[in-house]
Amino acid sequence: MHENWQVVIPEKRLKARVKELAEEISAYYRGKELTVVAILSGSLIFLGDLVKSLSLDVKIEVIKATSYGNGMRPQGEVRLETPGKMTAAGQDVLILDDIVDTGRTLEAVQKFLRARRPKSLKTCALLSKPARREVSVKVDFLGFEIEDRFVVGYGLDYAGKFRSLPFIAALPDPSLVIRHSSSQ
Ligand code: IMP
Ligand code: MG
């Protein structure tokens, strides 16, 4: 199944870079307790791998952001939901996302958290597509910059699929994917 994918970042490179990011983050927050706010669902696999390599006391919170629906283009407005009350007040908070595309999701989550008065607020993303940026957001800890192509795997999905691939791959012709899934 894997040989048909056009791999953009192989598993080994992902692992190595995630470990490096964890070291950078651990060095930056040394001696502090860190609250990681993971943006669901795309950052789940990244979150799991990253926190295992952090040498810090870590709290994990999640926030669900919806902007994509089932398509490949953003729908503009970002909706946010939290499973419970998010208390970020006085904490060192690091927002974790899978990919920064237009920047709107990260901007919305930053705004949401800033209003809760954290002690500090930084951002971390596995991937960034700078060519697609519509609002300027700072990514303090970034895994990889990639070209403007729709990618899946390692948490990233297309219409809810392909999140469990262990590598990042470019989506093959979406019409093939739809035909394939509807013939199941
Ligand atoms: P933004 O708000 O446009 O920056 O979009 C961020 C969200 O869109 C990410 O957290 C992803 O969930 C989704 N997204 C953007 N580009 C891709 C992609 O290439 N593959 C899968 N999801 C993507
Ligand atoms: Mg996402």
Q: Is the CB of 128 under 6 A from ligand 1?
A: no
Q: Is the CB of 146 under 6 A from ligand 1?
A: no
In a domain, 145, yes or no: yes
Q: How do beta strands 57-66 and 79-81 pair?
A: antiparallel
Q: Is the CB of 99 under 6 A from ligand 1?
A: yes
In a domain, 110, yes or no: yes
- Per DSSP (E only), the strands in the chain are 6-9, 33-40, 57-66, 79-81, 92-100, 120-128, 141-145, 151-152, 168-170
| φ, ψ (nearest 5 deg) of residue 99 | -150, 140
| Count of structural domains within the chain | 1
Tell me how far the alpha carbon of residue 32 lies from the centroid of ligand 1, in angstroms: 30
In a domain, 168, yes or no: no
**The pLDDT of residue 171:** 85
**The pLDDT of residue 73:** 59
pLDDT in tens, the chain (184 residues): 556 899 999 999 999 999 999 999 999 999 999 999 999 999 999 999 999 999 999 999 999 998 755 565 555 689 999 998 888 999 999 999 999 999 999 999 999 999 999 999 999 999 999 999 999 999 999 999 999 999 999 999 999 999 999 999 998 765 555 544 433 3
* C-alpha separations of 44 from 63, 64, 89, 136 in Å: 11, 11, 24, 24
In a domain, 154, yes or no: no
Tell me how far the alpha carbon of residue 135 lies from the centroid of ligand 2, in angstroms: 16
Give pLDDT tens digits for 29-48.
Answer: 999 999 999 999 999 999 99
Range of the domain at 38: 11-149
**The pLDDT of residue 29:** 98
Beta carbons of 29 and 55 less than 8 angstroms apart: no
Residue 57 a catalytic site member: no
Q: Is the CB of 101 under 6 A from ligand 1?
A: yes
Q: Which of 49, 92, 98, 101 is catalytic?
A: 101
Q: Residue 50 maps to which CATH number? A: 3.40.50.2020
Beta carbons of 35 and 59 less than 8 angstroms apart: yes
Tell me how far the alpha carbon of residue 142 lies from the centroid of ligand 2, in angstroms: 15
CA-based Rg of the chain, rounded to a whole angstrom? 16
In a domain, 160, yes or no: no
In a domain, 78, yes or no: yes
In a domain, 171, yes or no: no
Query: What is the chain's percent helix, strand, coil content, to nearest 5?
Result: 30, 30, 40
**The pLDDT of residue 112:** 96
